[in-house]
Every structure is written in structure tokens, then in C-alpha cells.
Structure 1
Amino acid sequence: MNVLSRVVTYASGLPLALEVIGSNLFGKDSEEWESAFDQYERNLDNKIRKILQISFDALKNDEQSVFLDIACCLKGYAFGEVIDMLHAHYGRCMKYHIGVLVQKSLIKINGYGWKVQIHDLIEDTGKQIFLEESPEMPGKRSRLWSCEDIVKVLESNQGSSAIEIIYLEFPFSRRERDEDPMTEEKCEDVQVKWDGTAFKEMKNLKTLIIKNGYFSRSPKHLPNSLRVLEWWRYPAKCFPHDFHPKKLTILKLPDYLHPIRELDSLSQGLVTLKVLNFDYSKYLKEIPDVSSLQTLQELSFRECKNLVRVDSSVGFLPKLKILSAQYCKKLSCFPSAINLPSLKTLSLYGCQSLENFPEILQEMKHVTSLILKGTGIKDLSCSFRNLSGLEYLDIRENKMFWMPSVIAMMPQLTKCIINGVSNKGKVSGKQEKEGLQVEGILAHSLCSSKLESLDLINCELSDGFFPLAVAWFSNLTRLNLSGSKFTVLPECIQEFRFLESLFVDDCEHLREIRGSPPRLTDFSALNCKSLSHMGTSVLLNQEPHRDTLIKFVMPGRIPRWFEQRSRGASISFWFRGNYFPDYALLVAILLTDNFHCNPIEVTAFVTINGKEVHVDRNSEIDQLFVFDLSGITTSSNKNGWNHAEVSFIALKRYGGKYDYHCLDVQNESIVKEIGMHVRKQKISSIMQDIRFTDPYKMTGLIIMMMMVSVVLPNHKNQPLLLQTLIGLWTLLFLTHTAFGSNTLS
């Protein structure tokens, strides 16, 4: 079993490897397996190597080079980063060549962040092909990735002009060192003990990437041929005096150990720089003048905890596309005005000391998304309208107590999230009283909004909000008004013709629902203490007519149009056919009064013929939960009836926000009643295939009646009795066939 586990890991899903290894190990004993596989792990099998090399040999020269770059050095980078680094390294775009490698299945682009991945055996093939370039002299190779080889070259000054790429990453990352103090001691063995001159002879080094490691000295020389320089925890306060890389395109110094001192002098020669990165640099307090970096496209200094000031020149870079300063908690001095015509991404998320958003001097139409969540920004000026292409705006968890009027004037804004006073005990009485004056803003809006999704959370909304909102936000499909002060949901909300999702959680003054949008399928009124089941009767008096997902959370009672009800923690039904009738069924869970306004987390499950199937329907509820059973895919008895049972588990919040503990559904009497309904628009096609009574028991009863009618003595002499039995049998059959889906247990 140990060897088989190693084989599976080694093959990593490559059928060719399983076939070759399996044929070699077939007929041998376990000791031979151990010996043979030790050899596999040391050296790639020749059969596998020869077959994989056929694909490599079929590539053109540029494609082979890109393949070796990825296999040896760039595996695991994001797709966009690989494109940028290869473009910088070769001086031309290599996106087409990457596409060829993907088409031939030599690399993959998948996973979170669109990482460039390569199968382990294909990676090993590429590395072995490349090692033939200079098997004994690493300093004569064009690519270095082995820690041992790189340390040897640096410590022994064996570098040469043949080296073009160095990728150094020791086995222990910085995160692992932070999590495991013992790892720090292990990393002492991988310290590079050099004199700092090893790069002097590497006159053609174009890409230098150092992810971690300790260097006994700062570099005394860096090649002017560099086009990509990424060095985590760069050990020097400044660059070597003779370092003038005229073709440097990407400069990344994450977790920089010193304040920036000589960027000004260095930047004078960086006429081709496109990417500048100082992420996670805790000693960085200021971003200096970068006005000479007119080609810069990306500037990032995320999570620089002590960064206070960003020079005003950052606001006037004509080609800048990405500006990221998120989680710089002490940042208070940001450019007061910006004109960045090429900007696409601006991230100030988590800059809690930043109180003013810059003036937008001219139109910046390429910014489509802006997250100002967690900032100290108090208002947005009229110049904010110059972000004419903005589609998504998030200004939660900030210090705004007035809704900026400019929001209603954004021509392309389709989604907006605004938080009001969320921690009333921590703000002044005046701020709490004022709240976010949304109604006044709407009343003075100059143009109709294109908003499709609007969150106005804790915004102190009153009953006067709805007539204005219906007029100005007629295109909404999603509306979140949680934490408001209104008392009713008026009849006019029926005029939200496209609204599908409506949330009014924590609206303590809400007493009654008088209307319902015609397309509403997702509704939540959690922790509405003044809302009784009578107040929700209008919403529940008729079933939703749309054939879509349903999720309602609110106070109330199980609607009368639910055909089947059961007291307890589960409800059963029978179905037949090839597919589970998911969209056709609605389920309602009603909690006991003990849990009203004391929310718990509920997750539903369905057991089909004894096999449990998870339902992707869970919610925090305090009384009534109505939902459909869509999303279940499972095998069933095609030729007969299947027994299904709906049950659930309940979790109660305990302590922290996401800290729950499981409740015993049976013993704590959480559930009062469970209901089930077959949608009317579906009955015509499936009424014969869903039943709430056991079809096998009914069939047995019918057979028994038939047998009685046959074997009853003297039945020929008692025609009236025979006719009665036949009539009763017919009535049972018709009832079972036509009304089985509506029969109460």
C-alpha cells in the first residue's frame, strides 16, 4: 500500500505514467517494488521521458524556450504575471506561445488566481532536457532553479554570461517561519555565505527572482542587463552604485527591510519600468517622488503597516493602470488630486486613517470597480463623477454619515454597497441622529439611476424612502435595507418589477408587509422584532409563481397552500422517474416560539432510499424558512418508487460571529412543523410521480380488494356485493392515481 500510494502521487493523474510503471512492476514482489520506485523518484523513467519529449521536440524554438522557462522557474505564478515577465525577459509578447503550450496540454491555467500549472512529470521532463545543456557546470547553464546549484554558483563565484534566469526559493517560506519558530533554525542552514560579487560576471542575466533565504552580505554588483528583479527582503539599504538597468521593466521588493533612500536617483534611469512593488514592507514610511517613472503601469504597496505618506507625483502617472494601497492602516497623506487617465484599478481597502478621497481632475473612464471599505473617508466630492465608467462601489465600514449625493449621478453605476452607523454605541449622538440622509439625496437627484444592486445597510431609512426609491431605482434586482427604521413595506414596492432579492434584516420597527414585488424569490426579514406572523400574511398568502430558486426567511406560519405537513424534525414523500423533482418541491421549516428572534443556522438534507444527499440550502433563521430543493443530482430507481426524507441540522451561534455549536434537533424541540408543497405550474407534468403516501401500501390494499372480490364465496349470487367491491376498488385506484400527490398523511 505504501508503494501504491507513492506511485499515485508520482503519476499525479498522468495515465501514461501509470501504464509504464504498472507494466514494470507487474509480477514483482514488494521489495522489488520498493527498489524500483526509489529509482523512479530519483530519475524519470526513460519510456516516459521519450514519449513526453516527442511533444517537446514538436515545438518551435520560442515555444521550447517558454516551456523551459515555465517548467524550471515560473510554475505557480499567475497567468498575467507570467505574460508580463516573459514579455520583459524576451522584449516581446509571448502570450501566443503560452497558448500553444496550453493547447498541447503541456501546461494548464487554472485554480484560484489563474495560476500557471504544469504536471510534475512534464516539469521533470523539461528540467532533465535542460540539464543536458551543462550537466556538471551549473554556472554555464542559462537557467538556474536548484537551491544547491544557485548557492554553489553564488558562494564560489562561478557565474558566467550564459546565465539568463535565476529563480531561488528555499524549501521554507517566510509564512512557515512565522508559524513554526523551529523552522527559523532550519533556515540557518540555507544562508548564502558569499562576498556579494557573484553577479559581476553574469552580464546577460535578465530575470532574477529570490523568494527567500539569508545573505551574509549585500550585493556589491547587480547586472545592468536585468529586466525582471524580484527580491523578497532585499538585504541592502540601496542598490550598488554602478547599477543602471536601462531595460528594467519589473521591480519587486516585497517585505523590504529598509526605508527607500535611493529610489529617486535610481528612477532617473528606469525609462522602461512598468511594475514597482513594495508590498508588506513594514519599514516603508513614505512613497517618494516617482514623477520620472512615466512608463509605470502598476504601483503596489499593500499592507505596509507604517506607511504614512504617498507623494503627490503618484497621482500624475499617465500610463498607471493599477494602484494598490490596501491595508495601509496608517496612511493619512494621499495625493489630494489625481489625473490618471489609464487607471483601471484603485484599491484603498482598509486604509482606516485616510479621511479624504482625492479630487478627480479629469475623466477617468477605465475604473470600473472601487472598494473604499474600511477607510476613514467622510465624503465624496462632485469630481467623483469623473469616474464615468464606475460600475461597482463599496463604501462599507467607513466614517460616512451622509450619503454622497454624487452617487445618484454616476452614469454606469450598477452595484453600490453603503454602510451607515453600524456601531451606534461608539459614535456621537449627533451622528446617530443624522444617520445617512438617503431620502434627501434621492429627492434632489438629477438623473435616473441604472443601479441593479443596492445595499443601504444601517442607513436610518424611514417610510418616506420607498416612493422615492421606486421612482429612481426602478431597475433594481437586489435591494438590502437591513438595519432601517421604516415601519411598513408599502404596496408601492410592487412597482419594483425586476426585484428578485429583498433583505430587511434587523429592521426593529418593521410591523407589516403590505406588498410584494412580482419577481421576488429571495427575501429575508431576520430579527425583525416587531414583525408578527400576521404582518407577513400578505407575502405568504399565495405561492411564488416563478420557476426559480426560492428562499424566504421571516416571521410567519407555514402557508395554507402547503399540502403536506408534519410535526417533528423530518418529512417524507415518494417520487419516481429518472430525475429528482427538485424545482417542483418547496419545503417550509417552522421553529418553535422559543427561538423567535434568537437566530439559529439551519442546513437541510435529503435522504433518498437511505442515502443522504446534501442540499445547498442553508440560512440563519429565527422562525420560518421556505426554500426549494433544487440542485440535487442523484441516481434513483427508474422503474419504481423512491422514498425521500427531508431533515436538517441546526447550529446556534456561540460567542464569536462564526462560532457555532450543534443543537440536538430531536431533544431540544426546535422545530414546530415542517411543510411541503408541489408547485402548481409543475403538477401537470409530475402529478403522477410525487406522492405523500406510501404507494406500495396502497398497491397492496388494491390487490387485497381484488383478491377479496375474486375469492369471496357465492359472489355470483350476490351481484350487489360484487358491484360494490368493484366500485370501491375503482375509487381507490382513481384516488391513488389522480390525487396521490395531494393526499395528507
Structure 2
Amino acid sequence: MGQIIAALGIIAALGIIGTLVGIIGTLGIIATLGIIATQRHSSSTNSEVTKKRERDNSSCSEEDQKIISSSSPSSSTPRWKHDVFLSFCGKDTRRSFTDHLYSYLKWKGILVFRDDESLERGTYISQELMQAIQESRYAIVIFSKNYAFSKWCLRELAEIVEWEEKKNLTIIPIFYHVDPSDVRKQRGTFAEAFAAHEKDPMVDIEESNTWRNAFTKVGYIKGEHINGDRYESPIIQQISEKILYNYKMLNIRIHEKQKIVGIDSRVGEILTLLHMESNDVRFLGIHGMGGVGKTTLAEIIYYRFSSQFEGSSFISCIRERSTTTPDLAPLQKQLLSMIMQQEIHILDYREGLMLMSTRLRNKKVLIILDDVDCEKQLTALAGDHNWFGPGSRVIMTCRDSHLLERNKVNRYKVEPLHTTDALELFSLSAFDETHPPEDYKDLSMDFVNYAGGLPLALDVLGRSLCKKPIEIWKGARNNLKANPKTKIFDILKISFDGLEESQKKLFLDVACFSGQEIYVNFKKIYSADVIEVLIDKSLLSKDDVYFKERLTMHDLLKEMGRQIVRSECQEPGRRSRLFHHEDVFHVLKNNTGTDAIEGIVLDFPLGGILGANHGEINPAAFSKMRNLRLVYFCDFAYVNFYDFRHIKWSGNPLEYMPSDKLQFLRWFKYPSKSWPSSFQPKNLVVLKMPYSCIEQLWTESMVLPNLKELDLTSCEDLIEMPNLTNAPKLEKIDFSWCISLCKFHSSIQMLKQLQELNMCDTQIKQLWEGFVDLPNLKKLDLGSCRNLIEMPDWSGAPNLEKIDFLLCESLCKVHPSIEKLKRLQILNMFGTQIEQLWTESMVLPNLKELNLGGCENLIEISDLSGAPNLEKINFSCCKKLSKVHQSIKVLKQLQELNMYKTQIKQLWEGFVDLPNLKKLDLGSCRNLIEMPDWSGAPNLEEIDFSSCTSLCKVHPSIEKLKRLQILNMSDTQIKQLWTESMVLPNLKKLNLRNCKNLIEMPNLTNAPKLEKIDFSCCISLCKFHSSIQMLKQLQELNMCDTQIKQLWEGFVDLPNLKKLDLGSCRNLIEMPDWSGAPNLEEIDFSSCTSLCKVHPSIEKLKRLQILNMSRTQIEQLWTESMVSFLLI
């Protein structure tokens, strides 16, 4: 550590340390991507350094090279407003492929510009579109049959090609049902189109030639050819992953040349340890000192290789986030939701453990756990290798190598750089060259030696000295020699003093006020310009945490910022920010506050019960804090209620709190019942008072011109909404779980900027009457409003995307104006009393999820033909529903259909084309008498017919389901699954439990990937099929309570079999030969009353953990010669 401090001391003379702070900050110290330098000692010459640089670059992937070449340390980082610009012919693809691609890209967090149909189109493309092209990183050009007939599209394409040449815009062509060679050579329909344009007097020959050249150039770019021989969804996913990979690599500044030093050698070393080709599950811990680049290296592995896995998840900042979510359930939820690509609900840590240990067993996943620091985190997120499917890889970054060692995790240590790589990194930062100029060589080596191989110091030194005259270099070196013991935070303070005032404020606010919620809300308080400046300087970075963008700061930067605040004054009351609970109580108890204080955070250490030790507090202590901007009294994760209940106030704190400059107020469990009339915070941007005792905010309209968010979650005594007339900038309102709130205030109609409104679990009966203009409202949650009797008129909220009426038990009708919601994507009506959704087809072109589960009065499915983009439908537990509407056949994007526990007798008749259907649940449909024809749903992956007690036959078209992974036919009346072998190459789970009429096992020869088979309680089943020997991936086999006499004869190779249950097989007379199943861990022969002997091959089962032979007829378990295997 002394070496590091000495290295960082180099910068004391520069007075330009902002860059150092910056490099530390970006995504876990991005600058340390010099981490990625090799570790060998070398005394290479400058030419050798140059050769090594070229060699490292040549080993990068083509995509990385393009990213690298797009910018350099000496040039400003390109500013893109959009990640992707979509160019397409609306007539051909707007409502099909383009819409699906657009939606998927947005879902992945990629910023997409798609020109809307409502934009006025003229002869020439608008300035808006030209600017959008210029501000985009990628352009996806979708060539379709009518693309060239549109002058608009051609001029768009010409502009794209021009900017591809000017500004490194990357073009990705998609040839949608057209031949790429026809595009290149303008043949076919394209020839017709160009011929028409060339006859048009409004198109001159020069422009026509420009279009042809653009067509030819883009036609030669390698892209995606869609001609009907492949499904579109995997192609869309592949395009998105490619863009996302490059986008992420760019965001973490891999494109800067100095960051590529040795990158592939480090990645290669890690890949050797991960052995990606192996089918086993591997854990790897990347460890090293803080700031050496562990997180960055893990990010590179993730973004390079995640597309090779069935699912992936990157959980960042675990150590920090564990302090705010101690039971770790939110982290478990994030991990599972990212991998399953749907929201997984987890109540608590224990439920999370159960789901983590079961949901991913059959998935090959890549998981990154960043900054792990305790056993509980490992247990919660990666408790056992058995949690994950074959081929999975779990990588964790950690400072504590002993933690990894105790948990038997393979380790990779990230070391500081050696001299050659250090000089190269420094030179790239200072000169944009792999070696220094001759007259700077000795000076450069001096700085390299001071840095001691720390990538962070090398990079920052180089940036700080870049383009400075040699006299400055010499002065900096001399000052370092004169002050060899300068402390790191003193050095950083010099840089901090050079920032502008607004930048200082934001930096210190983020450093002192930890927590995801604050990070998100700073974007509402500070201007985008201030935030962008600090991001550009790498003092802050952007991160995605469970689909929410937030600002982040590295631990070292946080500590530096906090040290700056501590050094302001020994007396906490004279500091600008109070962030330690003892300092807060000191100031409040002793009334030592001053106008120096700008922000207060009060949160308790986990498990601490500190409030009880501080007696009564006089809120007048706030009165001297005239410059207070931020107040954050929060009990993280709501686990320490006891602390806040034991803080006693002698009065109403808001009566004394200065409000003139207050911007952010979050007070968990605010103690008073009223809002004092004297408290008028006109600059307030965020107001959050969850779990408070407050009964009423303000009686008349409060002037809050800057308020953007109002959160009164779980204020159980709140009886009415406040008048919000004079808060016109409100974007988000949350009154959820205000169980005494029964009336909606009419001032809602003034909130033209409102985007989210949450009123769930309140007592309101009506939302609003008549037309209310809320043009920006996107999300409305009225779940569990059990007194709500009617929907509002939707006409004034045309941009709604999500509506939730979950468990609104008094709601029985859908307002017809719902047809106005053309952007609606999710409609949740679960548990309502509606009998019919709508009478005629409603045109809802963007509706993707429809949930009518638990609607017990629903008697029929409505016409869904006006919602062709539906992906997920839930009619489960609609007990009166007996018929499926024929419009189901038009839902080409449908992926999940849940009809569980309905009264339907038939799903559909004949061939129905549902090419994207993946999951079908018909469990407990007791009137269902036959399966449908599967020919039109070839991509089904999971089918559930469990407890369909009238179903007795399998449709032969099941053989068409080549992607089927799970088939559940338990508790049905089938006698035979199929007569001959069915080719189901991806089937992994087969459940025929309690099929009492099943007389024989099916032939499973052509289902080689089966992992789990359940024939338990099939009381008519008496014979075992020999095809079992083909199932090399089989892990679990359950034959309990069947009539079989013998399992298999002789040697049967089942290398992955782990669990075998033959309990209560009363006719079983002998054990099988175990030699071919050496990995068995659990065997159950309980109540096998005819079994009297143990097969001697049992000693082959070296991994056997549980053997149950209770209530059998055996006289001897094993002979003395067999005992030895127990001791291994």
C-alpha cells in the first residue's frame, strides 16, 4: 500500500488531479484496464514496445478493433444521442419485423431512434432525421422489397453512408426477404424502383447515382439475411447482443488505446482457468487490491462471452448494495430475472435460496458477482455448483483471497504492471504513442518508477501531463522528490479544488450520500450538463442495475470525497455534509448546526439499535442550517424499524427546518401527523415520506414549481391526496398502500408531465371523471384497490404503456376508451370481476401482455385480432371460461399461453400457426379431452397437461416439437405416450406421475437429452423400456410405486444419473448393475418388499450419499470386502 501511496504522490505537483479521480471512477476503476497488461519482466526497447502494441491489437477481435479505432485518448469522446437509428420501409416491415426489433432493443436498454409515422413526410428527409442519423452509433438498414421505391428511404440511406464515412457510424444491413446480391447490383424490384426514379424529372442523375452507390456499398457489408428459413426472434436477439456488447465496451472506455495493453493475454489466462469447452460447472474468483481492475476484467469476459450462454447476469457492487439490502433478496431477484428474462418475485432471502437452487439447474449460465466480501453473499447467489446447468460459469471479484480459499473457489490474482507494460500504458496516456519521445524518455521512466506498476496512477499521470511543456514535467518530478510522503487524499484535494462549484457539489453529494435511490434522484436535481461533465472526467459513471440507470462512484473516490468533507472542520456542525449517524446525533443533540451544512444522511448500521440511546431531540437544531439542500433519513431495506421509532422529537421537525434551498427530502417514518404551513420548500425536487404518521400534507395548494417526485408509500393514516395544482412538473406519484386514502384529488388533471401514478392498495372508488389530459402518463398501478368500481376514461392518456388492476375485486367492466391506448403494452386485470373484456375487436397494436388470470366471472375470451403483437396471455383460474376464441390463430408473436384450471374442452381445431409459442399451460383443465395439432407451434419448449383428468391420448404431431424441453402429463388418463420412438432432441423433463392407466414406458431412444423422468405412482406400469440406456444426460429417475420387477439388465451406461427413486416397488426382486451409474448420489428402495439382496457393484458408487433400504427383505447389506468403499 505504501508503494501505491508513493505512486499516487506523483501527482502532487500537477494540480490537475481531476483526471486521476475520474479514471478511478468509471465502472470499478476503468483506467485499470491497464490491468490487462501482461505480468512478465522485460527490458524491451522502444521498437519492441511498438511491436508488442501491434501484436496485442492484432489479437483483438474485429469488433474490438473497430471500437478501438473509433477514438483516441487525444480526441474527445464521441457523443451519441442514440445507440441505433432504424432505416426501413414502413409499408413492408413497420408492424412486423421492425417493430419486434425495435421493442427488443428498447427492452435491452438500447436507445433507438425510429421515425414515427406521424412525422410529416415530404420530398426530402427532415432536419430532425438528419440530426438523428448524425447522432447515432449504429444504423440498422432493413432492405425489403419496396425499400428502393421510397425516395425518403433512399435519401436516408445516402445520409447514413455519408456519415459512416465521416464519423465512424457503423452500418448493419438486414436483407429482409430480398437477395443481398440484388441489393448490391440493383436487380429485381430494386431495378424497377431505380428505373422509375430515373424517369422522374424531380430526381437528377447525380442524386440517382448517389443512391445506387449507397445501395452497392451497404449491399457488400456483411449483415443478416432473412428469407424464411430461420425464425426471426433468434436473429433479433443476435443483432441486439452484438450492439449491446459493443455499446458496453464503449461505455467502459475499452476503445481508448491505452486500455488495450495486454488485454488478450489476461483474458486468455482467465479463459484457461474457465475452460469454456468443458461441460462441468466452474467457479472462478478474480482477486487483488482495490483499484487494480478486477471489475473491469470481469466486465470484458462478460460482454465478450455472455452470448455463448443460455442466460447471463452481472450483479455489480454487491458489497455496497448488501448494506442496503441485507437479506439479499433483491440481488437474487435481479440475478434470476436477468437470466430468465422475466420478472421473478422473491419475498425474502429463504425463498430466494429455494428459487436459486432450482430454477437454473437446466440452464447454461454465465454469472458475474462483483465485489463479494462475505460468506452470506456467496451462499445467496452461488451457494452450490449443483444450482447451475452443465457448462455454467460463475465469476466473482473479491479483495479477500481467503474468502475464496475458504469456499474452495479457484483463483486468479490481478497483479500490478511490470516496467515494459507500465511504460507503454503511461506513454499511451501522455503521448498517444506506445513509447515516449526521446527527450521525454528519462522523465517518463521517472514517473513510471514512482507509479510502482499501478495502472491507475500511470494512466492519470499520463493524462495530467499530456500536452504540457517539458518544464511542467520537470517541476512535477522535482516536487515529487521533495514531497515523497504526500498522502493520497491531500493529492486528490488539489484536483478537487480545480472543479467548478456545481461539479464539486454533485461529486461530494454522491460521495457522501450512498445508496441507489439517491444516485437515481440526483439526475432530477442536477442538470444533465453537470452530470455529463463529471462522467466525461470519469468522476462518475453510469450503470444499469436491474434495468434502472443510475450514477455510480468507485469506493476509492467515495472515501476521498468523504475525507474532503471531514477535513472541513473538526466540529461536524461546521461541515458541509453529515453522513455518519453519530455525527448527525452529535449535531442535533448539541444544537451545533450551522449554515455550512448542506446535506444530512441518517441511516443505521445493520442490526444497530441506536435511536434508543439518544433520548429526546429538539428539532430547533435544524433552524441554523439555512443552506440545507438534502435531507435523507432512511432505514435501509426497512429492517431497523426499531431505531426510528425510538428517536423522540420534542416538536415537529419541519416547523424548524429551513426550506428555501431544500431540494431533496426523504424521511422514513416521519414522526409528525401534520405538515406545518410555515414549511414552503419552493425548490423541492423530490419529496419522499414513506411509512410516516402523516394524516394530511397541506390543506390548500402548495407552490412547488420544481417538484418531480412525490412518494408517500405506506402512510397508513393519510386520508386524502394533497392539492397538486401548483406542482406542474411532477413526473412520479406514489400513494401505494395508503390504506386510509379513499378520494382522488381533481388537481391530477394539471399534471401534464406525470409519467407514473401508483395508487395500489388504497380505498379509492374512482380515479377521475370524464376526460383528463395526461399526455405523458405511461404507467398506472391500481392493484388491490378493492373498492374501485369503474375504470376512468382513457382518452386523455394515449401514451399509457402499463396498466395494473390486479385484485380490484369490485371492478367488473372495461371502459371502451381503452381502444385509444395504441401504445399500451401490459394490461393486468388479474382477479377482477369482469365477465367480458370487450365485445368487438379492439385495436391495440402494441399490447404484449394480457393478464386475466383469476377472473372467475369471465365467460368468454374476447376477439384478440386487434392485438397481433401479444406475447403473453394468462387466463388461468377463469373457472367459467370454456372456449378459446378463434382469433388466437392471428397471434403470431405469442410466446406464452396459460389456460390453467379453465373449463375448456378443446384448445384449437386443425392447424394453427403460432410460430413463436414457447410455453403452454393447460394444467387442471379437467374437461380437456384432446390435444391440439402441434404442427403450427414448432418452437414450443414447455407443455403442461398435469391433472387433465379427461385427457387420454397424445396427438401424433407432437413429433414436430423439436425444441420441446418439458412435457408434463402427470395425473392424466393416457395409456400410452407414443407407440414408436418420437424424435424430440431437446426434451429434458418428462413427467408422467400418477398416470394410473399407463401400461408401458415409451421408447425414449430419440430423446437423448432427457435429464429428469418421473413415472412415480403409475400403478399399471410393469415393464422398463430398454431405451433408457440411450439417455446419457439422465440425472433423475423416479419409478416409485410402480409394478416393475426389474430396472435394467447388465451394464447400462448412465454417467450423469444422480438420483434414483424406486420406493414402494413391491414387485422389484433385484437391484440392477450399478457399474454404469458411478455418479449416483441418492438411491431409495424403501418398501420394496420383494427385494432381498444388494448388488455387489454398489461399491462402484463412490459419490453415493443417501441409501434408503427401509422395509425391504435384505438379510445382509454388504460383505466385508465391500466395506472399503464407504471409507473413501
Q: TM-score range, shorter-chain basis? A: 0.5 to 0.7
Alignment partners' CA distance in 1, 2:521 and 2:1041: 47
Contact 1:380 1:406 in 2 (8 A): no
1:402 CA displacement: 2.3
Alignment partners' CA distance in 2, 1:112 and 1:192: 42
Is it true that 1:385 corresponds to 2:819 in the alignment?
yes
Question: Residue 726 of structure 2 is aligned with which of 278, 286, 292?
Answer: 292
Is it true that 1:437 corresponds to 2:860 in the alignment?
yes
State the identity as a percent: 20
Question: Residue 961 of structure 2 is aligned with which of 544, 555, 558?
Answer: 544
Alignment of structure 1 residues 593-604 onto 2, 5 Å: 593-594=1017-1018
Specify the alignment match of 1:36 in structure 2: none
Alignment partners' CA distance in 2, 1:69 and 1:146: 14
Alignment partners' CA distance in 2, 1:348 and 1:436: 24
Q: Deviations over 1:364-385 (max 9, x none)?
A: 2332122211113211111122
Question: Structure 1 465/215 Cα, relative in aligned 2: closer, same or farther at 3 Å?
Answer: same
Contact 2:731 2:756 in 1 (8 A): yes
- Secondary structure of the structure 1 residue equivalent to 2:532: helix
Q: TM-score, normalised by structure 2?
A: 0.43
1:324 CA displacement: 0.9
Contact 1:78 1:114 in 2 (8 A): no
Structure 1 counterpart of 2:488, which letter? Answer: K
Specify the alignment match of 2:931 in structure 1: 513
Is it true that 1:332 corresponds to 2:749 in the alignment?
no
Alignment partners' CA distance in 2, 1:340 and 1:283: 28
Specify the alignment match of 2:651 in structure 1: 217
Question: Residue 188 of structure 1 is aligned with which of 612, 616, 619?
Answer: 612
1:360 CA displacement: 1.8
Specify the alignment match of 1:204 in structure 2: 627
Is it true that 1:449 corresponds to 2:868 in the alignment?
yes
Specify the alignment match of 1:131 in structure 2: 566
1:299 CA displacement: 1.2
1:311 CA displacement: 1.6
Specify the alignment match of 2:408 in structure 1: none
- Secondary structure of the structure 1 residue equivalent to 2:1056: strand
Specify the alignment match of 1:602 in structure 2: none
Specify the alignment match of 2:968 in structure 1: 553
Alignment of structure 1 residues 77-88 onto 2, 5 Å: 77=517, 79-84=519-524, 86-87=525-526
1:270 CA displacement: 1.6
Alignment partners' CA distance in 2, 1:415 and 1:592: 36
Task: Specify every segment of 5 or more residues in structure 2 that has no aligned partner in the other structure, as ranges.
Answer: 1-286, 291-318, 321-370, 374-396, 403-412, 417-483, 635-643, 992-1005, 1021-1029, 1043-1052, 1064-1081, 1089-1099, 1101-1128
Specify the alignment match of 1:728 in structure 2: none
Structure with more contact order per residue of length (Cα contacts < 8 Å, sep ≥ 6): 2
Alignment partners' CA distance in 2, 1:321 and 1:120: 33
Alignment of structure 1 residues 57-72 onto 2, 5 Å: 57=495, 60-61=499-500, 63-72=503-512
Question: Structure 1 551/159 Cα, relative in aligned 2: closer, same or farther at 3 Å?
Answer: same
Question: Residue 951 of structure 2 is aligned with which of 526, 531, 541?
Answer: 531
Specify the alignment match of 1:351 in structure 2: 785
- Secondary structure of the structure 1 residue equivalent to 2:943: strand
Question: Structure 1 367/622 Cα, relative in aligned 2: closer, same or farther at 3 Å?
Answer: farther
1:303 CA displacement: 1.2
Contact 2:652 2:672 in 1 (8 A): yes
Question: Residue 899 of structure 2 is aligned with which of 478, 481, 501?
Answer: 481
1:169 CA displacement: 1.9
Contact 1:504 1:525 in 2 (8 A): yes
Contact 1:408 1:449 in 2 (8 A): no
1:509 CA displacement: 0.9
Alignment of structure 1 residues 698-709 onto 2, 5 Å: none
Alignment of structure 1 residues 220-369 onto 2, 5 Å: 220-223=655-658, 224-260=660-696, 263-265=698-700, 267-328=701-762, 330-337=763-770, 338-362=772-796, 364-369=797-802
Alignment partners' CA distance in 2, 1:169 and 1:264: 31
Q: Deviations over 1:154-186 (max 9, x none)?
A: 2333222221111122346xxx7xxxxxx77x5
- Secondary structure of the structure 2 residue equivalent to 1:512: coil
Structure 1 counterpart of 2:598, which letter? Answer: E
Structure 2 counterpart of 1:645, which letter? Answer: N
Question: Structure 1 403/71 Cα, relative in aligned 2: closer, same or farther at 3 Å?
Answer: same
- Structure having the larger proportion of residues in helix: 2
Q: Deviations over 1:234-278 (max 9, x none)?
A: 3334444443322122222222213105x134x432222222221
Question: Residue 645 of structure 1 is aligned with which of 1049, 1056, 1068?
Answer: 1056
Alignment partners' CA distance in 2, 1:378 and 1:492: 34
Structure 1 counterpart of 2:837, which letter? Answer: M
Is it true that 1:465 corresponds to 2:465 in the alignment?
no
Contact 2:942 2:965 in 1 (8 A): yes
Question: Residue 167 of structure 1 is aligned with which of 572, 580, 601?
Answer: 601
Alignment partners' CA distance in 2, 1:290 and 1:370: 22
Is it true that 1:394 corresponds to 2:828 in the alignment?
yes
Alignment partners' CA distance in 2, 1:225 and 1:646: 67
Q: TM-score, normalised by structure 1?
A: 0.63
Specify the alignment match of 1:417 in structure 2: 851
- Structure having the larger proportion of residues in strand: 1
Alignment of structure 1 residues 132-151 onto 2, 5 Å: 132-134=567-569, 136-151=570-585
Q: Deviations over 1:178-229 (max 9, x none)?
A: xxxxx77x532134522x3222222211112222443232233221221112
212-221 or 7-16: which moved more? 7-16
Contact 1:191 1:216 in 2 (8 A): no
Question: Structure 1 264/50 Cα, relative in aligned 2: closer, same or farther at 3 Å?
Answer: same
Contact 2:766 2:791 in 1 (8 A): no
Contact 2:918 2:941 in 1 (8 A): yes
Specify the alignment match of 2:1117 in structure 1: none
Specify the alignment match of 2:129 in structure 1: none
Q: Deviations over 1:472-528 (max 9, x none)?
A: 434423222222323234542443344332221111011222511341332111110
Q: Deviations over 1:266-291 (max 9, x none)?
A: x4322222222211111112113322
Question: Structure 1 228/53 Cα, relative in aligned 2: closer, same or farther at 3 Å?
Answer: same
Alignment partners' CA distance in 2, 1:468 and 1:130: 65
Question: Residue 515 of structure 2 is aligned with which of 56, 75, 80?
Answer: 75
Alignment partners' CA distance in 1, 2:824 and 2:759: 19
Alignment partners' CA distance in 1, 2:876 and 2:673: 47
1:466 CA displacement: 5.3
- Secondary structure of the structure 1 residue equivalent to 2:652: coil
1:323 CA displacement: 0.6
Alignment partners' CA distance in 2, 1:352 and 1:49: 62
Query: Alignment RMSD, CA only?
Result: 4.7
Question: Structure 1 664/122 Cα, relative in aligned 2: closer, same or farther at 3 Å?
Answer: farther
Contact 2:860 2:884 in 1 (8 A): no
